[in-house]
Structure 1
């Protein structure tokens, strides 16, 4: 069961989300709010697994609210403004729904959240198949050091090789268990258990150095405790 909260200043938008959530037996809507400030007590006291968040609201902008939450849940942005999509994905949101969105598109976003919340299989390390050229290469999650986003592909750095695959860093992030990997820069996702040292805005992983983006630093420090 995924516990979610919806925040939107439009009553009709909240009504649509309630209707969509009611069709998903694995979703529990813990509350709906027309203002981020109204939602704060519930977020602070009980928390949730998923936040369905509008961006353009009169009291507090959704992106500003998200950056102010010390321990944010997974977030799906729901907005009529597609121009904020890049900023949303850079902030690590699960998905970006442009209003009006269908139930099918809503469900796709929820399934992305499910994949991030799903526990690793008992007794197994977990793995992904990565397409490189004309091959599908199996990569064990425990072997991944980091993922580096290039202009039009992602370089998957493992302990023994580097695999280039034609995809985006955000698309790859959706496939990784959120408890094991963290985005630390617009161009880098790293495996938490492979970090050796963090010095100022640089992560050291063996002989590799990874920069830490300012907007990702707080989440990284929270994740490592």
Structure 2
């Protein structure tokens, strides 16, 4: 299912950047780009919008004023050059807050936060995560991920007999996956307990891969398996 979104920003360069990022993210469908809150309000009246990329500091009507005026607002990812507005944004239950200028990876993290919120209302088997690797964007069902491994500033993701490498911190990717059956077993490994085969001493076999179990993580793993 496509996510209908709009851009609301008075700066042409910011709109162009978001348009490029949205075009590179297959799950997003850009319905309209708006130069101000008045244009955005008209679009919201006539279109079904799931997600709004909203600038805060706009003339006449700010992004925060627009959001407060909506009876049933879409989910919002704020984008602004002013960090001091972050608290106001989060008080309005914004999905995320992008501080300009932001790279594609940070944009993608925000979109994944939105997907996590939206997919909590969908069947478990349909939940997905977007990951970028070597200029390709993968949409991966979370239940298909066998394990992830920290490798310096990158994380190796193994799924459906495929392996990709993602530029991310280990903890950040764990938070994006955010799924009950996914558990850390070592300082450098986390697995889906749905896909492990057996435990042999301080090792666990996941789809034919032998992974170490860290002493500090063993009890949490065993408790999760017993549940």
TM range (shorter): 0.5 to 0.7
Structure of higher CA gyration radius = 2
**RMSD (Å) for aligned C-alpha atoms:** 2.3
Give matches, 1:108-123, under 5 Å. 108-120=109-121, 122=123
Q: Which residue of 2 aligns with 1:11?
A: 12
Residues 111-168 of structure 1: per-residue CA shift (max 9 Å, x gap): 00011111545489x9xxxxxxxxxxxxxxxxxxxxxxxxxxxxxxxxxxxxxxxxxx
* Secondary structure of the structure 1 residue equivalent to 2:10: coil
Deviation at 1:17, TM superposition (A): 0.3
Unaligned runs of 5+ in 1: 127-171, 177-225
Aligned length: 129
State whether structure 2 residue 40 is matched by structure 1 residue 28: no
The alignment's TM-score, normalised by the length of structure 2, stands at 0.53
* Secondary structure of the structure 1 residue equivalent to 2:25: coil
State whether structure 2 residue 50 is matched by structure 1 residue 54: no
The alignment's TM-score, normalised by the length of structure 1, stands at 0.54
Runs of 4+ displaced beyond 3 Å: 119-124
Deviation at 1:107, TM superposition (A): 0.4
- Would the alpha carbon gap of residues 44 and 23 (structure 1) be closer, same or farther in structure 2, given more than 3 Å must change? same
Q: Following the alignment from structure 1 to structure 2, what is the Cα–Cα distance between the partners of residues 59 and 29?
A: 25
Q: Which residue of 2 aligns with 1:200?
A: none
* Secondary structure of the structure 2 residue equivalent to 1:30: strand
Q: Which residue of 1 aligns with 2:216?
A: none
Q: Following the alignment from structure 1 to structure 2, what is the Cα–Cα distance between the partners of residues 19 and 82?
A: 23
Deviation at 1:21, TM superposition (A): 0.3
Q: Which residue of 1 aligns with 2:217?
A: none
Unaligned runs of 5+ in 2: 128-174, 180-227
Q: Which has the higher contact order (CA 8 A, sep 6+)?
A: 1
- Would the alpha carbon gap of residues 120 and 101 (structure 1) be closer, same or farther in structure 2, given more than 3 Å must change? same
